[in-house]
Structure 1
Amino acid sequence: MSKYRETDDLHMLLQKFFLCICLRFFLLKIPFSHGTDTLTVSVPISDYIGATLVSSGGRSVLGFFCQGTSGNRYAGIWYLKDPHTVIWVANRDSPLPNDESGIFSLKDDGNLGLSSKDGVTHWSTKVKAADVNSNRTAKLLDSGNLVLSEISQGGELTLLWQSFDDPSHMDLSRMLKQENFKLTSLNGPYEQPDPSDLCNHFNSCGEYGVCNSQQKTICRCLPGFKPRQPNNWRQGDFSQGCERTSLPSHGKPNQNTFEELKFIKIGTKNKEIESTSLTQCKEECLRNCRCQAYSYNHNRSTATGRCLIWSHVLSDVQEGIKDGYNVSFRVSSGNHLLHCKTSSSFLCTYFGLLALGTLLICAGSSCTGKHHYIIYLVVVGILALVITVGCRVYVWRKLARERVAKREAILKHLAFHHISSENRINLEIISDQFAEHNEEGINVPFMDMEIILESTNYFSDENKLGQGGFGSVYKGKFPGGQEIAVKRLSSSSVQGFEQFKTEVLLIAQLQHRNLVRLLGYCTNQEEKLLIYEYMPNKSLDFFIFDPKRCLRLSWETRMRIILGIARGMLYLHEDSRLIVIHRDLKASNILLDEEMNPKISDFGLARIFEGKQTAGCTDRVIGTYGYMSPEYALEGSFSTKSDVFSFGIVVLEIISGKRNTGFIQTKIARNVLTYAWRLWIEGNAVNLVEPMLEGNFNGEEAVKCIKLALLCVQNDPQDRPTMSNIVSTLNNENATLPDPKQPAFLIHGDSFFEASSSQVSSMSGQVSSMLEISNSLHYGR
């Protein structure tokens, strides 16, 4: 009998024990509020019990929070009705570990401080120590201002510190206006930050997001990352940050690349080590599988260098900071990051304890009827939860393996080399030679196919801007609102494949206001995609050849477009580090931005030279009907003067408003070039100007431009001016020009012939056998 009694006592003891554990565990997870707005020495705020400080009006809260999925813990102030708006962070540069051990308290010396369980201080007000007889308190106001004040023995109140004066306080000007008051600190008056600078908000763009208040869309993801919540980004909510587009590649240094961003500030704490060179700093980062980014700074005065390593989740990243670092971010690397505690882990633990407690409770009773039913529900619930979690893990791992396989296939399919010569740009894409690991490689962002599909609404016809010989072009919108133009190259076009290689390799190295900007590229099996900045006014031919839209182009606008094209070509020929011959300059390849500024595009046929070489020859002539120079069309010889010839044709088209190849004036002049030459010989060059302008133009300026264009299309390439001469002439009102010689050849029907009729028959056959005509892409970007 006593044996059974002892067993019953043991069961009762176990019942009470597990019920206490379950109750304590449940209560600890319920957020706890002090119910007061004042912090004293005896009542600290503990992250472990979820304690908070609430202002008297219930508008602001001081407590602990976890930012994103990093696992980092912060103490800060936020709005009670809008917890996502954090207006002050105490330990912005020194996050707490993810063990909920943080304590925000009023210390014995009278300072506010934040410390962890190991006693490390992560933040402090650092004001003078309190007197023995003084009484200090910290109060949270409805405005979001945390005020530390002292009451002397005589009852005098002194303000010692306030969060409004702290550099980590964000967006205060709005709150000051709402409260209509002014506070004064012992450290001096408070300077209100610019409310338009949204990057002053803590971690405005989330983890792995970059904030740049000078850009139209202030948030974008770091290289190698994509928005974690694309729909929220489109609506302007960047708080969830970004996630990697590729999976870890540990142990494979050749699959790790870095992309440098300039003038960067990172809120995440870094590790500083001594380093003698940039290469050593990079190797230090590669050896650390947790390294996210590095920056090397060399001190010339002391001949020493320091290497900064970021090994934690990157948060509060800002761009365009005057005193910022040049930081190289790891594009393809490991993602061994800590994660915040989620509700699912809490539920698993809670239900596990609940089930164990229930079984033990029932072990000491008959467990019949209702008790069996309870056990059944608990067990089924736990099994369902385990199965659900298991399925999610399985699906996630399967998708992860597919992403790795797709990425590896892309890496084998692409193998771009750094452009160092005319020959190297024509190399075929060779497996296992992708140049991302090469510091001299081309840093063009590789973009995820899923994001592009979503941006273009899966290449819907509604988003289609145009179609040409190399493929189609679609309008898209990135998460965050940035508009893009996606060129989808035809899988069956050999020219499209060559153009894809050339544009990715070339445009990434060219930066000029009159050249279109390549934002990235993507390949997926047979798909080859180029992503450009979007040009809302489409292309030049969209305006100058339309009887109604041409009215938007005043004479001043046309002259500005001509000068912009000339400056862009000058950069290609002389001012860039490479000598670039475009070979396909025409009106449809001149894009116009919002202010009608021209940008040269479509570099698929371009050729590149280094050193003093400025000419080449090919046995495969590819160009556009009506714009090719005679030496290129007939002999395959091309040079910078070939582009000058095309520029002259474009200038005549801009001035006249007539397409060179579709113009029919008389039987004698069946194209703009012929017509312009006839008018020049007759002394009536001004009659070439677009009739719609109705005299609203400068006659002398028009004649000078026509004369310059005719100089560009002369027979001998040596007679044609250089682009530097052209730009100088356009900028100089008093520039004098020689008389132009007769154009090299005139276009008649579907063949070429020189001005000398005796040579027409011998040249027509040669041209027809050599000339390959490519269509233009008529679209806006």
Structure 2
Amino acid sequence: MSINVHLKFLFLLFFSSSLWDSHAQHVPGVTGVAARNSLKPGDTLNSSGSLNSPNGRFMLRFYLWPAAFGTTNYTYLTMFRTSDWRLVWYTRQGIPITNDFDLLTLENNAGSLKIRRHGDNPIELSSSPQPTNNTVASLLDSGNFVFNEVYSNGSKKRLLWKSFDYPGKVLLPGMKLGVNHKTGQNWSLIAWLTDDYPVPGAFTLEYSGHQLIIRRRNVVYWKSGVLRGNEFENISPKVTSMYHFSVVSNENEESFSFMSKNGSQESRWLFTSTGQLLGDDPQPIAQADKCDGYNIDGGCQRWNQPLCRHHHQHGYTVELNRGYFVSEDDSSYNISDTNLSISDCKVSCWGNCNCVAYTSLFANRTGCKFWTNISNFVPNDLTYLDLVYILSPKLSHSGKNKWVWISVAISASALLVTFFCRFCYLQRRKTVVLQGVDNENRLLSLVISERSINANDIPNDRKKVPDRNVYSYECISTATNNFSLERKLGEGGFGPVYMGKLPTNQKIAVKRLSRNSGQGIIEFKNELILISRLQHINLVKLLGCCIFGEERMLIYEYMPNKSLDYFLFDSNRSKLLDWKKRFNIIEGIAQGLIYLHKYSRLRVIHRDLKASNILLDENMNPKISDFGMARIFKLNELEANTKRIVGTYGYMSPEYAMEGVFSTKSDVYSFGVLMLEIVSGRKSNSFYHSNDALNLVGYVWGLWQVDKGLDLVDPTISDSCVKYQVLRCIQVSLLCVEDSAIDRPTMSDMLSMLTNESTKLPLPKKPAFSIARKKIEANTPNNESNIYTMNGLSISVMDAR
């Protein structure tokens, strides 16, 4: 780069700064006429005039940028904030305006807002759909330049165009990022190629997927993380505390905007040519220039790298001090494309395995110069010389002795740092081990000390407590992306459930006990003990748990198809469950209950069997989940009584709902209701407001009495169902929901009835839905339960879900 070139650049910078200063010195007289804020049909704004917002905060005018090379000066229609003369907007579409005869005009009778150029085609900003003389273009105090069609009395009819829809490199309060779904309009910031060269550059700032995204030539460099409350995951709370963020997400648009919390209109976000997003605070909002494709700190993203490069090499990229340049005798080559910025040079050099250094080619910091070999650095007294960036520095011989001493000092420091880190690591490891032991002891103490009633067969010896994985809070928080909304699968009585991924890439489901949950430590303990001891293909698998402070979490295998109710009660998704799949689900649930009642080491009554507690794996195989309400029976125990009635209305057996008496037959009743829901595709409680039946059971009984059982069948499976099989399921279901528990079949007998067609089925008796039962007070404290009677059926509302 020659001295003449740099002197020319200095002269142009001096000329530009002089022109800039003249704005600040002659604001009132720039236009040559009285200040105005709008253009009416026939009005023009020439290169010596301006529009001023009503309170004088913003000014719109033509501005001249001197070209760094060539003979043409570039003129743009620009907007400045008058308090500090900072640029806030400019016309970025089309080619630059190229002469002193340019003017902005609102044409008479055409309703067209154009920038007319002497000897060239005009740039049309907007026009009315129909020729009209009722238009006005105004500069508002918000910094928005708007073009409206108006009524004859001057009131606004409709908006035709606004500058806020075409942001440049500055985001003002109220200006949007995102997309207009109706018009397809994208709102994004585009950084300049260089900080002094007003043409679109390499970096863009967008809003998509509820987060801010910075791209460089369409490669994602940085993400803010999802906005929660008023904070982004990867933006400092100190920065976000200064602003109020507004988000719109509907069928019309997805957008983001900000306002200063102190109400100041002086706020602005500036997007620089290197990918930095700067706000009102000295601390940057985002620094995409720090992202190298390897690190993921502060929102940085990974992308593919050349095989010949390594992370440590990229991390040592340095800048040479001003006053030195690389000898022209070394191997070098140029790319004179003025559409390339220094970030493009960096990426190009990194992608060329022979490249060892780079810098800008031209004085306006465009174009690229690369070196494939560096022998020495030559001093120079031109302090404005561009920096040279090197990937693998090779020092000159003259500096060898100095760098030997520096190397010794660095080595000694590294040794001290190594010893210090080793010491910290051992201390940290000791602390983690102690914390792990403490958490495990707390877990075992929790399991032992807070047993549920009738769990005496579980040993008190800690050594006999079932083995299980205890996960750290950090592990689960990382796996669930800090319990982010996009990872949330749903919400149950226990609390929210999240999808996570362990470092082994195994997917998990995390149930997090909510502090507001009606369930508590007993339910947590029940699941922890029971599921860890129960192993069956039709029971959900517990992988472990996490206890951290007040946090209680259970870690399960992940079920990709969610729960049965997700498909069964949705008009579209239910079509995915044909009769073959539904019958397979019925059989699987029955097998799981048989295991719980008969073949497991502990006899378990689930007490909350329902569609939402049946999870489906990738093959739609059912797995019973949610054992928070479950109870353990001794081997010789047939039934029990409780003062704490829990479960879900519509699935509760009458003796349990009214008297607190439960047994394996309570689960049989719930299974009968669930089987009717699977056949019909309707919820049990969907009949509560019907004049014909109290609930699903009553409705089915009415159909059965008149031999219209097939009317129950879900229309979505009418073509795929096997009629005799469906009728058999309905009859067995009615046997399961009989009023007296002793009349109901066991789960083993029930499954035999379903699958053995030669077995003759008994006729069902009238179910409990219409039989008035005498209310029995179950020795329940008044503050624990309230009993209500409806149509002769008494039900308890305490702890029901």
Which of structures 1 and 2 has the larger relative contact order (alpha carbons within 8 angstroms, sep 6+)? 1
Scaled by the length of structure 1, the TM-score of the pair is 0.47
| Bigger strand share | 2
**TM-score (norm. length: structure 2):** 0.46
Q: As a proportion of its length, which structure holds more helix?
A: 1
